[in-house]
Every structure is written in structure tokens, then in C-alpha cells.
Amino acid sequence: MNDMITMDQLRPEQSAYIRAIGGSGALRHHLLDMGLTPKTEVTLRKIAPMGDPIQIELRGYELTLRLDEAKKIEVEDIHQKAQPKSPSESYRPIAHPGVGELGTDGDYHVHERGDAIAKGQPLTFALAGNQNCGKTTLFNQLTGAKQHVGNFPGVTVDRKDGTIRHYPEATVTDLPGIYSLSPYSSEEIVTRDFLMKTRPSGIINIVDASNIERNLYLTMQLMELGIPMVLALNMMDEVRANGGSVRINELEQTLGIPVVPISAVKNEGIDELIDHAVHVARHRESPARIDFCAESDMPGDQVGAVHRAIHSTVHLIEPYAKAANLPVRFSATKVIENDPLIGKALALPPEAQTALEQIVRVMEADSALDREAALANMRFTFIENVCAKTVVK
């Protein structure tokens, strides 16, 4: 066992396991949201010519960190990571179901529904995704020249709105590029406020197919809002060119939302994406899945600890969330993370606040992780399991 050091001291191609995440507040939460949770294996791949930043690999994707961020991450058990074997299986893509068609197991589009929105009635969509995932290109493909730019109220963050092609009754708002719905930047707050206060008819979530492990973290939080949603899997042409693929049908059955492969740059799959988005919005088909803790493979009792905490919190805060017009599941995960804005909006009475803190203490003791790390680890473990089954490198 090597002496404990910080991540900035690793040498290229050295691997280690994260021991602890230092810092506090927004910075620490940001690091956890990037997948840097305790016990995660990381490998240093590159160091910039001037020594800052560094590029690391973890959980199947690459991440760039500034040195001052890397210095806050304690690591242990330095080793040389074994090179993964090339996959020997070949994957033959199968047909992707059209709108309203059944998938291979017969349960495509099993969602909670409300009263359908009649054809011709106004529809509103939010376009959400990570930075550098092709969101601006997709927005332009969705709207063409029918768009205008302004600002969100009270901030200098750009707001772009447009009319979706072929559907004059449907408008889409291009939200800022973010990596999570944590309230630690103006872009994150603007996005979250728009989604929770405006409650659009649907969400179009664009995901970079070549970096799917990183992008799905935001997807999971969007799904917890309970808004009808479709996932646009962008840059599939690049994935195929590199010999990879994604099992689209299996991915959408696992997530419980339609998944449409697209190439925004080449205008491929855009019409199918629009049709799916309009379909789920008109029929008010909310995501079939918002529970991500039951099928994880976390060591020990981490799954059970997080699962029990979330579901206990849902029951505890449900009347307060409904009174505040907040999505219950999303509010439960956020209040466990000690999200200040959600906590303020819920306005829990003292006895409920005491019960919540007891739930969190039990979860931290059983999982051996603090409240923020436990939730981040739950989400990323689910993502790793999903990608292991559906992503062919």
C-alpha cells in the first residue's frame, strides 16, 4: 500500500483509488458531480506542457482538472492499471421502434400519463444537455431561422427560443450547457428554475454518444423532475466510425424514455427526434423510471442505505413538496444532498427537519459516505451498470 498522496502527484499512466474529496461547498459538490467519489479508480493520462491542467480517466470517460482541484483529492493504492481486452463480440444493430411501437419486450412507452394535449394546442420544450455536446447545432436544426435571443430574467445568461420545424404550435428554449442540476452556478440555477417553475410540455435531452458515461448524470436528474422527455443520442456517426455502437432499444428500456440516435451536424434523425418529442409531450408520458438505487452493484450496504434514505425522505417531504409545487423525487434527492434552495422552498417544520437529519445520519453510517458523496456514487454506479450493458466500445 502506497502512502496517501493527492491526485496532482500522480505520474502519467499511474492509477489510484480516491480516498477522500477535500474542499467544501460548491467546489466539492462540483467534483462529486463529475464522478470523483471515494473508492473510484482513476488513471492520470496526460499533463499539459506547462503542468496545468491534467487529464484523468475514470468510470469509462476522460476528465480535465485544474491542479488546484486535483490537490483537493486524496488518493491511495497507486498501481498500474491492466489494459482492457478488446471486445471480441460483434454487435449487429436492430431496428429502432417508431413512435408508439412496441420494443422487444412489449413494454415500450409504459409511462404515467395525463390527459392528452389536443393537436394544434401550444407545446413548449426545453433543450438541455452538457457543454460541448452539440446542443447549439441541434437547436439550429430544430428551429432553422425561426429563433430569437434574449436573456433570462435577472441574469446575463443568454436565452434562445425558437419554433420547431413542421410544428408551428411547438416552441423550444435552448437552456445553458450544464453538467448537473446543482444550484452552484448561474447557468445551473437558471436551468433548474426554468424547468421547475415553467414546467415545459417536454424536455429534449441531448447526450454526446461518444461520452455517454459523463452525460447521463444530468439525464438522471432531469428524469427525476417527472417531465415528459426524450433523449437525443448525438454524434452516433462518430461512434460508428470508431467501431463502436450503442444498443438503443436496451438503453431506452432501461431508462424508460425514448432514445433517438442522431447526428446534429449531418441533420440525421432530427425528424424522428421531433416526432418522439411531440408524441411524449402531447400524451404527457412522464419517464417510466425515476428510481436509480435499486439495481446498483455498490459494495456492502451502500445500495440499501441510499435506497432507504431516498424513499423515507419521499414519504416525509411529500406534502411539503406538493404544497410548494415541487417534484417530490427530485426534491428528496436534493434535500438529502443538503441543497439550500430546495431546503428553503420546502420550509420543513422543525420536527420534519429533525427526522430528515436522522435519515441522513443513518444513511451516512450505513454507506460509509457523506450525504453528497452517497448520492453521486449512487447515480454514477447506475450509469456504469447501464453503459456496461448497452455501450459497445
pLDDT digits (tens, 9 = 90+) for 194-228: 999 999 999 999 999 988 999 999 999 999 999 99
Is 5-79's fold the same as 123-282's? Answer: no
| Mean per-residue pLDDT, 92-110 | 49
pLDDT of residue 12: 94
May I ask the CATH architecture of the domain 123-282? Answer: 3-Layer(aba) Sandwich (3.40)
pLDDT at 75 over 80: yes
Contacts of 161 (CB under 8 A, 6+ apart): 147, 148, 150, 171, 172, 173, 174
pLDDT of residue 244: 87
CA 26 – CA 344 distance, rounded (Å): 17
pLDDT of residue 90: 45
pLDDT of residue 98: 66
Report which of residues 102 and 66 the model is more confident about. Answer: 66
Q: How many CB atoms lie within 10 A of CB 122?
A: 10
Contacts of 171 (CB under 8 A, 6+ apart): 122, 123, 124, 125, 161, 162, 163, 164
pLDDT of residue 81: 81
Which CATH superfamily includes the segment(s) 5-79? Ferrous iron transport protein A (FeoA) (2.30.30.90)
Q: CB of 304 within 8 A of CB of 296?
A: no
| Mean per-residue pLDDT, 353-368 | 95
pLDDT of residue 331: 96
Q: What is the pLDDT of residues 42-62, one digit of tens each?
A: 999 999 998 899 999 999 899
Angle between helices 135-143 and 270-282 (to 10 degrees): 80
CA 316 – CA 310 distance, rounded (Å): 10
| Cα distances (angstroms) measured from residue 82 to each of 15, 43, 331 | 10, 11, 40
pLDDT at 296 over 60: no
pLDDT at 164 over 60: yes
Q: CB of 326 within 8 A of CB of 391?
A: no
Report which of residues 35 and 294 the model is more confident about. Answer: 35
pLDDT of residue 89: 47
| Mean per-residue pLDDT, 120-146 | 93
Least confident interval from 87-96, 161-170, 273-282 = 87-96
3-class secondary structure, 109: coil
Q: Where are the domains of the chain?
A: 5-79, 123-282, 302-388
* Percent of the chain predicted with pLDDT > 70: 88
Q: CB of 363 within 8 A of CB of 355?
A: no
**pTM, entire model:** 0.88
CATH of domain 302-388: 1.10.287.1770
Q: Which three cell numbers stand for residue 288?
A: 417510466
pLDDT at 303 over 70: no
